[in-house]
Structure 1
Amino acid sequence: MRVSVETDKCCGAGQCVLVAPEVFDQRDEDGVVIVLDEAPPAEVHASVTEAAQLCPAAAIALS
């Protein structure tokens, strides 16, 4: 699994951080998502998938 984000789409809701904090964080200044691990281990794939599905701005892409 590869994780990428379109930061210009991110609205800073933070759902991704709540669901998969090992993979996502937010910038302090504006809350925009930061990807901590672009190739997360298999044991967190389910939470990363859930984070992508919950993203209100559809800013998270998985491949």
Structure 2
Amino acid sequence: MNDINLKLSVEEINLVLNALGNLPYIQVHNVINKIQVQGKTQLQESELPEDQHYAGNKIAKVS
């Protein structure tokens, strides 16, 4: 499977998640989880100072 990158606002992501929430859980739970994990990581990275980055559960200083 090929991956693609989309650039959406938080409001747009929430709209997509709400729409997915109306579908049967068994069909969409993996996609919802991927969106949530990737979104959380990106939001955490955007809140860090420029000389740091988020890697998994650790914040690393970039030199």
Q: Greater strand share, 1 or 2? A: 1
TM-score (norm 2): 0.30
TM-score (norm 1): 0.30
Rg (Cα) greater in structure:
2
Instruction: Tell me: higher relative CO, structure 1 or 2? Use CA pairs within 8 A at least 6 residues apart.
Output: 1
Q: Greater helix share, 1 or 2? A: 2
